[in-house]
Structure 1
Amino acid sequence: MNALESASTRPYLIRALYEWCADNALTPYVAVHADDSVQVPREYVQNGEIVLNVSTEATSGLTIGNEFIEFKARFGGVPREIIVPIDRVIAIYARENGQGMAFPLQVRASGADEAPADAPGAPSLVESTEAGDPPGPDSTPANGRKRPALKRIK
């Protein structure tokens, strides 16, 4: 395997930031591009995205592998199995301070998904610009709360 064929750094960075959140008693959230390849509760998807609380308190059986993030969680009291392909994760950050990392949306073989024109090929550090919790396990979409907005830090 040469440098052009090497494995993606995305799953390694996601695991590292997840561990950083756990070590610092922070709540890790992942923002996901919710297309047909993602198994999430569709009623919580807004504008083609869903934000998931992946803390140990909110999940059961969490596995952050090189291809998928898989876990079980309750949404509105209903247990659900969540499966997210790693290439659909667009950010991981701490709920409490917004620190984390954003990733460009990767183009699938079909060409259906494209990275934004201004998105660089490398991940970016992010911080929250608004307070509030996104919808997630045991919350309702109509709870009136705003999702944190992410901004690039260069």
Structure 2
Amino acid sequence: MNAPDATSTRPYLIRALYDWCTDNGLTPYVAVAVDETVQVPREYVKNNEIVLNISFDATSSLKLGNDFIEFKARFAGSAREILVPIGRVVAIYARENGQGMAFPLATSASQSPLAGADVAASPAPALLPAEKAAAEPAVGAGAEAKIVQLVPANHAASGGEEDPEPPDPPKPPQGKRPSLKRVK
């Protein structure tokens, strides 16, 4: 079997990272680039992206297939059917520490969710304001794949180095005693 004939590694990596998250007591989230092929509640889509909690507690009937991620979830108390083509998943990561993997978004409009090859266009979009993506080429991979580890913004802003000491907390105003205010 030639490399172009091989199936995409994306669904296998998504399942592996999902298992890693659940085995370590972490909450798996997927970031999805929304288009007409994605079935999600549109009122929760921002900038053509949505981040979905796919943990066991947040979903029912979860199926991480080779072509689609399917599950039922509650949004504002009402049950909704979610259907995400694997090619539209741009990242899977743990909510608690941001560790995970981002994927390039396929650019070909003619590429169906059943197509096996992923085509890199640009780095994955930012997932959350508090997190940044740092892309590194995968070992042994061509220009078609990138592995990304998501890190908190304060970690990336400092060049990935730990701060020598945390900043001092703000000081209370001098001369006034703190008091609680009752709000009714």
With the length of structure 2 as denominator, give the TM-score of the two structures. Answer: 0.66
1:92 equivalent to 2:98? Answer no
- Count the aligned residue pairs: 132
Q: Which blocks of at least 5 consecutive residues in structure 1 are unaligned?
A: 132-148
Q: Which blocks of at least 5 consecutive residues in structure 2 are unaligned?
A: 112-118, 125-134, 136-142, 161-184
- Matched with 2:31 is 31
Deviation at 1:16, TM superposition (A): 0.1
Query: Matches of 1:76 and 1:121 in 2, distance apart?
Result: 38
Match of residue 122, structure 1, among 124, 127, 145: 145
Runs of 4+ in 1 over 6 A off after TM superposition: none
Deviates more, 1:62-71 or 1:1-10: 1-10
- Matched with 1:47 is 47
- % identity of equivalent residues: 64
SS of the residue 1:110 aligns to = coil
Query: Matches of 2:123 and 2:64 in 1, distance apart?
Result: 29
Q: Is the 8 A contact 2:32 2:88 kept in 1?
A: yes
- Matched with 1:140 is none
- Matched with 1:58 is 58
SS of the residue 1:50 aligns to = strand
- C-alpha change, 1:126 and 1:117, in structure 2 (3 Å) is closer
Deviations 1:9-58 (A, max 9, x none): 00000000000000000000000000000000000000000000000000
CA radius of gyration, larger in: 2
SS of the residue 1:51 aligns to = strand
RMSD of equivalent CA atoms: 2.5
SS of the residue 2:106 aligns to = coil
- C-alpha change, 1:80 and 1:25, in structure 2 (3 Å) is same
- C-alpha change, 1:107 and 1:95, in structure 2 (3 Å) is same
Deviation at 1:116, TM superposition (A): 1.6
Query: Matches of 1:18 and 1:71 in 2, distance apart?
Result: 14
Query: Matches of 1:76 and 1:70 in 2, distance apart?
Result: 19
